[in-house]
Amino acid sequence: MTKVNPGMTVDVEYTESTSFRDYVALAKMGIVRANLLLVFAGFFVAATYQSDTPVLYLFEVWPQLLLTMLGSALVISGSCYLNNFVDRDIDYLMDRTDNRPSVTGKISGEKILLLGLTQLAIGTLLLLLVSYVAAVFGLIGAFFYVVIYTMWLKRTSTLNTVVGSISGAVPPLIGWAALDPTLHIDAWLMFLVMFLWQPPHFLALAMRRTEEYRAAGIPMLPVVNGFAITKRQIIWWIVTLIPASLLFMHYGLVYLTVAAGLGGYWLYLGLKGFKAEDEIKWANKMFFYSLIYLVVWIIALILTAALA
């Protein structure tokens, strides 16, 4: 299928039929799954403050959990649809995005916009059935991702990674607010850790894709300021993340050991970057380890919160 510059007025000739897989691709399921894991973590840790047996308690509040997960999934998916709609004019310039249905023309911009807004609206309504605070945080996350990040800072400033991290740090607040709208301090600590985790994660990704971002005119930090400054920024964010992650010390020694080990090893990998001969290979290691950090940290938090 021929790539199309959506900024131009063209008549697209469809050479392939649109499939369900195309609609799933626009939802960015990797992002949806990762954020739902955070929503569940927020919900579960909140449950540990409501009951001494949080696992059994989940069976009592399963309707709230189901609505929270479905509502969050639709809000996140809808936001990704809107991101695809806005970025049609630059996605065709990047190898990792040039085959999206929004770029190839398999799904029209008007349909993507309508489906995105519909999912966002339905998801918000489902969250409202659980807690208006959860719904508000869902909309805040969507606003920062679609408007602040996608429509504005992604195209204008290297701060896009930092400010965009707000949207990715909101899911634990959604999950917690669904069960406890008053939001215990631990909910905000989860927000803090996830906010600090994202810059080193996405800066490593930006290094891996520097030339693609350069071709699309996106001012990511390694494009504007180079790899040396980007590596220093990655280190500073990890150094800040480590003590923040240890603020859950009341969950016990096991949690502290795991969190310190995760952060310490990430810092070790980061410092090796200053002597790395192959900087892209180093960025790959940093990116994939950040994913390991996320999953292991969430599991450790959930298990130790349940036992604390």
CA distance 106 to 126: 30
Q: What pLDDT, on the 0 to 100 scale, is given for residue 96? A: 84
Give the global pTM: 0.93
Whether 25 and 174 share a structural domain: yes
Within this chain, do residues 172 and 72 fall inside the same structural domain, yes or no? yes
* Of the residues 183, 212, 244, the one at which a domain ends: 183
Establish if 11 belongs to a structural domain: no
Note whether residue 203 is domain-resident.
yes
| pLDDT score, position 23 | 95
Do residues 179 and 64 lie in contact, with contact meaning Cβ atoms separated by under 8 Å?
Answer: yes
Closest CA to 192 of 135, 263, 243, 145: 243
Q: Which residue has the tokens 């996605």?
A: 91
Domain count, the chain: 2
In a domain, 269, yes or no: yes
In a domain, 12, yes or no: no
Within the chain, which residues score under 70 in pLDDT?
A: 1-17
Taking the C-alpha atoms of residue 224 and residue 78, their distance in angstroms, rounded to an integer, is 31
Shared domain for 267 and 243, answered yes or no, is yes
Residue 170 is given by DSSP the state S
Q: Which two tokens stand for residue 45?
A: 């840790």
Q: Is 95 helix (H, G, I), strand (E, B) or coil?
A: coil
Q: Are 187 and 176 in contact (CB under 8 A)?
A: yes
Triad 112, 167, 138: Cα angle to 5°: 70
Is 1 inside any structural domain? no
- CA 252, 255, 259, 262: dihedral to nearest 10 degrees? 150
CB of 190 closer than 8 Å to CB of 41? yes
- Whether 223 and 281 map to the same domain: the answer is yes
Could you tell me if 192 and 170 lie in one domain? no
Residue type at 55 in one-letter notation: V
Q: What is the pLDDT of residue 95?
A: 85
Query: Can you give the CATH number for the domain in which 106 is found?
Result: 1.10.357.140
User: Which residues constitute the domain of residue 35?
Assistant: 19-183
Do the domain assignments include residue 46? Answer: yes
Assess contact for 183 and 177: CB atoms under 8 A: yes
Among 135, 164, 183, give the residue marking a domain's end: 183
Structural contact between residues 205 and 287, judged by C-beta atoms closer than 8 angstroms: yes
Q: Mark whether 178 and 192 lie in a shared domain.
A: no
Q: Are residues 108 and 139 in the same domain?
A: yes
Q: What is the pLDDT of residue 16?
A: 57
Residues 89 and 224 occupy one common structural domain: no
What CA–CA distance (Å, rounded) separates 130 from 278? 49
> Has residue 23 been placed in a domain?
yes
Q: Are 210 and 223 in contact (CB under 8 A)?
A: yes
Please state, in angstroms and rounded to a whole number, the distance separating the CA atoms of residues 187 and 191: 6
H or E stretch including 123?
A: helix 109-130
Domain end (from 183, 210, 242):
183
Residues 147 and 166 occupy one common structural domain:
yes
Residue 15: helix, strand or coil by DSSP?
Answer: coil
pLDDT of the residue at 196? 98
Question: What's the pLDDT at 122?
Answer: 98
Burial status of residue 276 (CB atoms within 10 A of its CB: 0-12, 13-18, 19 or more):
middle
Q: Please state, as a whole number, how many other Cβ atoms lie within 10 Å of the Cβ of residue 101.
A: 22
What Rg value do the Cα atoms of the chain yield, rounded? 20
Do 31 and 171 lie in one domain? The reply is yes
Nearest to 145 by CA among 222, 206, 198, 106: 198
Report the C-alpha gap between 124 and 44 in whole angstroms: 21
44/165 same-domain check: yes
* Whether residue 157 sits in one domain with residue 28: yes
Residue 271 inside a domain? The answer is yes
